[in-house]
Structure 1
């Protein structure tokens, strides 16, 4: 699975921020990177999977809404 250009940019931004500003709060960058990585993975899986039922999509969406705690 290839990383999207957004994910690659965020990885570079995080690395540069840590290198040049080691005490900087990188929470927002790491959050965006996590979301982008998840998006990349979901796109790859959905592209190869058969169409999901409404119930299956709802279960997966519930995981996201609950932050994975469902």
Structure 2
């Protein structure tokens, strides 16, 4: 488990997902949106923590990452090289 502290926005999003999970079906639009929001917030904060420690990305690296975030599909480590 990560030692990073949970931010207030992520904590609120987790709480919303937990609350909705008690009374909603997995395909309920509000529940789906809440899970999507939690995922996005968690990913955004993780990316920020990584980028603060890393050297700047090249344009090509940034484009590859942006492509994946837009739904361009995952690739294995071997295909990236």
CA distance in 2, matches of 1:9, 1:68: 29
The answer on whether the counterparts of 1:10 and 1:33 sit within 8 Å (CA) in structure 2 is yes
Could you tell me which residue of structure 2 aligns to residue 30 of structure 1?
35
Q: 1:53 to 1:47 in 2, by over 3 A?
A: same
Could you tell me which residue of structure 2 aligns to residue 40 of structure 1?
45
Report the TM-score when normalising by structure 1. 0.80
CA distance in 1, matches of 2:52, 2:73: 26
Gaps of 5+ in 2: 75-81
Q: Of 6, 13, 18, which aligns to 1:15?
A: 18
Q: Are 2:69 and 1:59 equivalent residues in the alignment? A: no
Could you tell me which residue of structure 1 aligns to residue 73 of structure 2?
69
Report the TM-score when normalising by structure 2. 0.71
The answer on whether the counterparts of 1:14 and 1:29 sit within 8 Å (CA) in structure 2 is yes
Q: CA RMSD of the aligned region, Å?
A: 1.8
Give the drift of 1:13. 1.0
Gaps of 5+ in 1: none
